[in-house]
Every structure is written in structure tokens, then in C-alpha cells.
Amino acid sequence: MVKLYGSPISTCTRLVALVCKEKNIPYELIQVDLFKGEQKAPSFTALQPFGQVPYIDDDGFILYESRAIARYLIMKYPNQGTPLIPSDPKANALFEQAASIEIFNFNTSIQPIVFEKVFKPRRGLQPNEERVNEMLAILQSKLDAYEVILSKQKYLAGDSVTLADLCHLPQGTAFCGAGFAEVFESRSNLARWWKDISNRPAWLAVKDGTSVRNIE
């Protein structure tokens, strides 16, 4: 069984749990207390040198970075659960294109907003509203391009859901929960896509962190 070292409150931990649910991969969550700084302990950084969650231990194979973990698990279990990464060269190229869009256009814009509006308050800190507004303006322009893409196809890489779509869920859900749902809802094609992926049973099982724990 895959051992997932992370935290239910971590967006990256939830992404790995989501992929495990989509692929029907048994896993055990080994909880790391981020507020106590357990991710910075020498025993942790010996395996994850950046002191971040999550990492996995798959029968002695240690791997960190949530997207790398997700790709590894999808490739290891290609015939189990939802495919998520296409094997056809052209379809795979479109997947890689969509994956790059998520990382460099969506995540880089939305992550600072989530940090300011969600994670700072959890630490008793005040959000930098100027920073939020700056990144929100950038995100809005990026989502205009999403609207164009999604007016032509069901998902970002075509008409089948892929890992590129699912990678939006942890940060996107936190963003909507912080009071920004209208940003998605105001664009009809984006709203349709977001409703689709955010209601997938695998995501509903892990999105609030309470059921990230284990699947057997």
C-alpha cells in the first residue's frame, strides 16, 4: 500500500489523494502536523529536503512533488480507474499543453490569492489585499483564455478529463471558498467545466480534508 505523508489541509496532499481515488489505488495517509512544523524535522527533510508535503513511500520508493507523484501513480496503474493521461502521441501532447496551462497560467496566479485569503488567516495573519487585487486581475485575464478554450471542447485537453483538469481542483476550490466563486461562474463555459470536475465523486470524497485519510 502506498504511504502518503501529508496533511488533510494541504492542497497538494489532496491532489495525490484525489488521484488515488480516481485510480482506485489503496493508500495510507501518514499525517504530518504542519502547524507543529513536523515537515521541517530532520527525519522528514532527510526524505523531502524542501520540508514540504506531500511525499510518498511506495514500497521503499520515495517520491515528492504532488504532480510528479500523480503522474507516477497514473503511469504505474494505467488500466485501473480513470485513465487521466492519454497514450496516443497527439492526445498526450494536448494533455501536456493543458498541464503547462494549469501550472504557468492558473496556478501561478491563483496560488498567491489562496495563500493571502486562506492560509494567512489560519496563522492569525492579515492578508495583503493589494497583492490579492493584483493577482486577481492577472487571473481574470487568464480565465478569459480558459473561456475560449472551453467553448470548443469539454475539458482542457479535449473531450476527456485528464490530470490537467484535476490539478485545478485543490487551489480552485480554496479560491471559491474564499468568496471568489463568481469569478468562475461569470464565464459560462468555464462554469460548466468547473461544475463538472468539482462534482467528480473522487474529489467530493477528499475536498474538505475529512476523507483524505485512507482507501482500501
pLDDT band (50, 70, 90) for residue 209 = confident
Cα–Cα distance for residue pair 109/34, rounded to 1 Å = 24
189 and 147 Cβ atoms separated by less than 8 Å = yes
Whether residue 95 sits in one domain with residue 70: no
Would residue 209 count as lying in a domain? no
Would residue 207 count as lying in a domain? no
Cα–Cα distance for residue pair 178/145, rounded to 1 Å = 23
Cα–Cα distance for residue pair 187/139, rounded to 1 Å = 13
Cα–Cα distance for residue pair 29/184, rounded to 1 Å = 31
**pLDDT, position 210:** 52
Judged against a pLDDT cut of 80, whether residue 160 lies above it is answered with yes
Would residue 48 count as lying in a domain? yes
> Domain containing 12 — which CATH number?
3.40.30.10
Domain that holds residue 54: 2-83
Q: How many CB atoms lie within 10 A of CB 194?
A: 22
pLDDT band (50, 70, 90) for residue 212 = low
**pLDDT, position 208:** 85
Per-residue pLDDT of 44-72, as tens digits, reads 999 999 999 999 999 999 999 999 999 99
Per-residue pLDDT of 74-132, as tens digits, reads 999 999 999 999 999 999 999 999 999 999 999 999 999 999 999 999 989 999 999 99
Among residues 83, 112, 138, the one where a domain terminates is: 83
Among residues 33, 52, 83, the one where a domain terminates is: 83
Q: How far is it between the farthest Cα atoms of the chain? A: 49
